[in-house]
Amino acid sequence: MTTSGARTVRAPRGTTLTARSWQAEAPLRMLMNNLDPDVAERPDELIVYGGTGKAARDWASYDAIIRELSTLGDDETLLVQSGKPVGVLRTHEWAPRVLIANSNLVGDWATWPEFRRLEQLGLTMYGQMTAGSWIYIGTQGIVQGTYETFAAVAAQRFGGDLAGTLTVTGGCGGMGGAQPLAVTLNGGVCLIVEVDEARLARRMRQRYLDTYTDDLDDAIRQAEDAKRDRRAVSIGLVGNCATVLPELLRRDVAVDIVTDQTSAHDPLAYLPEGIPVEEWHEHAAAQPTEFVARARASMARHVEAMVGFLDAGTEVFDYGNSIRDEARQGGFERAFAFPGFVPAYIRPLFCAGKGPFRWVALSGDPRDIAATDEAVLELFDDDHLRRWIRAAQDRIAFQGLPARICWLGHGERHLAGMRFNEMVADGRISAPVVIGRDHLDGGSVASPYRETEGMADGSDAIADWPLLNALVNTASGASWVSIHHGGGVGIGRSIHAGQVSVADGSELAAAKLERVLTNDPATAVLRHVDAGYKGAAEAASERGLAAPMIVN
């Protein structure tokens, strides 16, 4: 492999090690997998997803990380500071093989302009959530979360499914591209507005999107026909949300649900009206201040239309991209009229330590994921889970190394992890499996516009929890642990942590997995117990989790 400039990266497959052990081979393959052109949005620039979320600071850092992982011993730990390897220390076999800190800034300095200044000096990178922690698995990683969210909307408002409803949303990128499939899996019609035609074409190739057009009248006609006939269809529209949503409102299109997943968290990654897609990145780089002001003004128009739909009785929610705050800064005062999706639908799941649990077959062999699917269904007798796994098998194209995701909670995850480890040991799975999770999580995130919005005790911005979570995972035997700032909602707005553990079939791995996959979701339960959630207190007492200040 060459050492400079853009190149095509693909993780090795099969059982031959390029590193000294699977504990180091796993982060090596996962870093490479993040940058696989089938996985990453802009791999030439090391950008994986979510605006500018990167896997490594630059190609020289990437090469150095790969080099260090190739020779790393099982009593050594590689330190990565915002995508750049900065040291290898002697530790021990229970210690993580890699410790990562991404994009962290001291409070008063935690702003986008200061971050960008430091980034231009080559001192930091934006790690997003799973990009800089090397457990991004393509759009499939978000599909189930998006499916669960729309299922919760359906349950709360539309009698259990979305048949005969129309959802309008924006942004068909790395994460947002899951929306059309998640809506149709729930039986509904989805109209998704995206400025970049290539993104829509890509999601169509991957079967996440059924069709697309650049004609608004055509898109509306198709959506209304499908809604009337109760057909589950997704339609892409090439257009700018700031133009299209006000127009849909003006035309009184009967929309049932409105949300958005443009990259609003980073105003340079939201295209304002009046700038052609081809000039976007050049314009943003040349005149960032003017671009940001125009992007915020467009977001204000976009969100004003969303609030217009809310006023007309539509179900409207923020899908975790900070668009409300950006629109507020763009001058629209009622931007917070609609809620974020976590307080609206997800928090009860966080109270039980539930969230997006994911795993990847390092062999590259889809049969290994098929075997884990059956193992999960055997372990957990749950109709909802079965429906999801079967739908995923049928509809979700693997991107890069085959992977699966499903929402499991405290008391469940370690059972899955240990079962996978047994299957690696006895050969039912051909090579080790890595097990991680998203940072959309109950215990490892402080994010007042998303995961911790509207906490019962007002502790939205308390960021001790993600730090404790990272320490807990380090103390429990995770294979790599990361602490990030600014993922999902942007610089200054979140602190979060990740863990990934390797099931390599050894007894040591079994002992580590049992602890990590119990303790990691335990921090979600404890965080919500502390905030006063009854559901979390019940979960803690059922599972014998010690919360010292709570007297049962």
Task: Please identify every residue annotated as catalytic.
Answer: 406
CA-closest candidate to residue 222, choices 205, 236, 241, 240: 236
Count, residues near ligand NAD per rule CB under 6 A? 34
Residue burial 190-221, b: 16+ Cβ < 10 Å; e: rest: bbbbbbbeebbebbbebebbbebbeebeebbe
Q: Is 497 exposed, middle or buried (0-12, 13-18, 19+ CB in 10 A)?
A: buried
Is residue 130 at the binding interface for ligand NAD, with CB under 6 A as the rule?
no
Q: Looking at residues 18 to 47 of the shown chain, list those that interact with ligand NAD (rule: CB under 6 A).
A: 41
Stretch that binds ligand NAD, among 32-40, 266-274, 401-409, 415-423 (CB under 6 A): 266-274
**CA 262, CA 455: separation in Å to the nearest integer?**
25
Tell me the residue nearest to ligand NAD as measured from the CB: 173
Residues 487-506 that bind ligand NAD (CB under 6 A): 488
34, 61, 133, 262: which one binds ligand NAD (CB under 6 A): 262
Tokens 């059922």 belong to 542
Site for ligand NAD in 184-223 (CB under 6 A): 193-196, 199
The single-letter DSSP state of residue 108 is: G
Q: Does 443 bind ligand NAD (CB under 6 A)?
A: no
> Which is nearer to ligand NAD, 25 or 325 (by Cβ)?
325
Written in H, E and C, the secondary structure of 131-182 is: CCCCCCCCCHHHHHHHHHHHHHHHHHHCCCCCCCCEEEEECCCCCHHHHHHH
If binding is defined by CB under 6 A, does position 145 make contact with ligand NAD?
A: yes
DSSP for 35-95 reads T-TTT-SBGGGTEEETTTEESSSSHHHHHHHHHHHHH--TTEEEEEETTEEEEEEE--TTS
Minimum separation from the CB atom of position 390 to ligand NAD (A): 23
User: Radius of gyration of the chain from Cα atoms?
Assistant: 22
**Residue 14 or residue 331: which is nearer to ligand NAD going by CB?**
331
131 vs 433 by CB, closer to ligand NAD: 131
CB 325 → ligand NAD: shortest distance, Å? Answer: 11
- 261 lines the binding site for ligand NAD (CB under 6 A): yes
Per CB under 6 A, which region of 32-40, 314-322, 376-384, 401-409 contacts ligand NAD?
314-322
Q: Give 26-29 contacts, CB < 8 A, sequence gap 24+.
A: 26/362, 26/432, 26/434, 26/479, 26/500, 26/502, 26/504, 27/69, 27/97, 27/98, 27/134, 27/479, 27/480, 27/500, 28/66, 28/69, 28/70, 29/362, 29/401
Buried b (16+ CB within 10 A) or exposed e, 72-89: bbbebbbebbbbbbeebe
Q: How far apart are CA 307 and CA 317, in angstroms?
A: 10
Q: Please, what is the minimum distance in Å from the beta carbon of residue 237 to ligand NAD?
A: 9
Q: Decide whether 28 or 47 has the Cβ nearer to ligand NAD.
A: 47
Name residues contacting ligand NAD, limited to 65-94 (CB under 6 A).
none
Pick the stretch among 161-169, 264-272, 388-396, 468-476 that binds ligand NAD (CB under 6 A). Answer: 264-272
Q: How far is the CB of 190 from ligand NAD (least distance, A)?
A: 14
Rounded to an integer, what distance in angstroms lies between the CA atom of residue 24 and that of residue 159? Answer: 48
Minimum distance, C-beta of residue 198 to ligand NAD, in the bound complex (Å): 9
Q: How far is the CB of 107 from ligand NAD (least distance, A)?
A: 21
Q: Is 171 in the site for ligand NAD (CB under 6 A)?
A: yes
For ligand NAD, the binding residue among 125, 166, 242, 401 (CB under 6 A) is 242
Closest contact distance (angstroms) between CB of 146 and ligand NAD is: 7
Q: If we measure between CA atoms, which residue out of 105, 98, 42 comes closest to residue 66?
A: 98
Q: Which residues are annotated as a binding site for NAD(+)?
A: 50-51, 128, 174-176, 194, 199, 261-265, 270-271, 319, 488
Give me the least distance between CB of 123 and ligand NAD, in Å please: 22
d(CA 166, CA 188): 6
Dihedral angle sign, alpha carbons of residues 382, 385, 388, 389:
negative
Q: Does 173 bind ligand NAD (CB under 6 A)?
A: yes
Known binding residues are 50-51, 128, 174-176, 194, 199, 261-265, 270-271, 319, 488
Q: Does 340 participate in binding ligand NAD (rule CB under 6 A)?
A: no
Binding flag, residue 484, ligand NAD (CB under 6 A): no
269 binds ligand NAD (CB under 6 A): yes
DSSP code, position 272: P
User: 56: which 2 tokens?
Assistant: 């490594």
**245 Cα distance to chain centroid:** 25
Q: How far is CA 276 from the centre of its chain?
A: 28
347 binds ligand NAD (CB under 6 A): no
Q: What backbone torsions phi and psi does residue 453 show, to the nearest 5 degrees? A: -65, 130
If binding is defined by CB under 6 A, does position 176 make contact with ligand NAD? Answer: yes
- The binder of ligand NAD chosen from 135, 142, 306, 472 (CB under 6 A): 142
State in angstroms the smallest separation of the CB of 328 from ligand NAD: 16
Closest CA to 149 of 301, 9, 259: 259
Is residue 316 a contact residue for ligand NAD (CB under 6 A)? Answer: no
Q: Is 270 in the site for ligand NAD (CB under 6 A)?
A: yes
**Which run of H or of E encompasses 512?**
helix 507-530
Q: Which is nearer to ligand NAD, 206 or 263 (CB)?
A: 263
- Residues 372 and 361: their CA atoms lie apart, in Å, by 9
Helix (H) or strand (E) holding 485: strand 480-485
Residues in region 51-70 near ligand NAD by CB under 6 A: 51
Write out the residues near ligand NAD by the rule CB under 6 A. Answer: 41, 49-51, 142, 145, 170-176, 193-196, 199, 240-242, 261-265, 269-271, 319-321, 440, 488
